[in-house]
Structure 1
Amino acid sequence: MKRALRNAGLGGCLALTAGCATSQPNTFTFTADLPPNFSYVAVVYYVPAKGETCTVETKDNLAPVFNNAWRTEYKPDSEITIRRTRNGCPLVVSRIELDINATYGKTRGDFGGDSAGVVIRDELDPQYKRAFNEAGVSTFFGECQWLFRTAGTNRRIVKILDCKKTNAQGEPGRGRPFSAYTLDQLSGKTVRMRIKSADEERPAIGDTWVKVPNGWKRCMGDNFDDQYAFCFGNYKDFSGFQMPDGRQCTIYPGCTE
Structure 2
Amino acid sequence: MKQALCIASLSGLAMAAGCANTQPNTFTFTADLPRDFAYQAAVYYVPAPSETCTVETRYNKAPVFNREWRKAYKPDSEIVIRRTRMGCPLVISRIELEINSAYGEDWSDISQDSANVVIRDELEAQYKGTFSEAGESTFYGQCQWLFRTSGKPRILRKILDCKKTNPQGELGRGRPFSAYTLDQLPGKTVRMKIKLAREERPYMGDTWVKVPNGWKRCMGDNFEDPYAFCFGNYKDFSGFQMPDGRKCTIYPGCTE
TM class by shorter chain equals over 0.9
Q: Which residue of 1 aligns with 2:139?
A: 140
Does structure 1 residue 89 correspond to structure 2 residue 60? no
RMSD: 1.8
User: For residues 206 and 10 of structure 1, what CA distance do their matches in structure 2 show?
Assistant: 70
2:102, 2:196 → 1: CA distance?
13
- Counting only pairs closer than 5 Å after superposition, residues 111-126 of structure 1 correspond to structure 2 as 111-126=110-125
Q: 1:66-102: CA deviations, max 9, x gaps?
A: 1111111111111100011122221100000011111
Aligned partner letter, 2:34: P
User: Within the alignment, does 1:250 sit opposite 2:244 as a pair?
Assistant: no
**In the alignment, which residue of structure 2 is the partner of 1:151?**
150
Q: Which structure 2 residue ranges, 5 or more long, are not aligned?
A: 1-6
Q: Work out whether residues 45 and 64 of structure 1, in 8 Å CA contact, stay in contact via their aligned partners in 2.
A: no
2:61 matches 1:52: no
The TM-score with structure 2 as length reference comes to 0.92
2 CA distance for matches of 1:218 and 1:85? 55
The aligned runs of 1:94-113 (5 Å cut-off) are 94-113=93-112
TM-score normalized with structure 1 length? 0.92
Aligned twin of 1:183: 182
Q: Secondary structure at the match of 1:45?
A: strand
What corresponds to 2:200 in structure 1?
201
User: Structure 1 unaligned runs (5+)?
Assistant: 1-8
Q: Spell out, residue by residue over 1:125-166, the C-alpha distance to the aligned partner (whole angstroms, 9 max, x if none).
A: 100101001111100000011110011222111011110000
Change (3 A) 1:130 1:151: same
Q: 2:63 maps to which residue?
A: 64
For 1:78 and 1:57, locate their aligned partners in 2 and report how far apart those are by CA, in whole Å.
24
Alignment: residue pair count: 249
Residues 221, 79 of structure 1: alpha-carbon distance in 2 compared, 3 angstrom cutoff: same
Q: Which moved more, 1:209-218 or 1:49-58?
A: 49-58
Does residue 227 of structure 1 match 2:192? no
Mean CA deviation greater in 120-129 or 20-29:
20-29
Question: Quick check: 1:44–1:93 contact (8 Å CA) kept in 2?
Answer: yes
Q: Which has the larger radius of gyration?
A: 1
Whichever residue aligns with residue 238 of structure 1, its letter is F
Determine if contact 2:208/2:218 at 8 Å carries over to the other structure: yes
The 3 A distance-change label for structure 1 pair 10 and 166 is: closer
Give the Cα separation in 2 of the matches to 1:218 and 1:42: 37
| Counterparts of 2:96 and 2:233, CA distance in 1 | 44
3-state secondary structure, aligned to 1:127: helix
Q: 1:47 to 1:237 in 2, by over 3 A?
A: same
Write out aligned runs for 1:11-90 (5 A): 12=10, 19-90=18-89
Describe the SS at the equivalent of 2:183: helix
Q: What is the letter of the counterpart of residue 248 of structure 2? A: C
Are the equivalent residues in 2 in contact too, given 1:164–1:173 (CA < 8 A)? yes
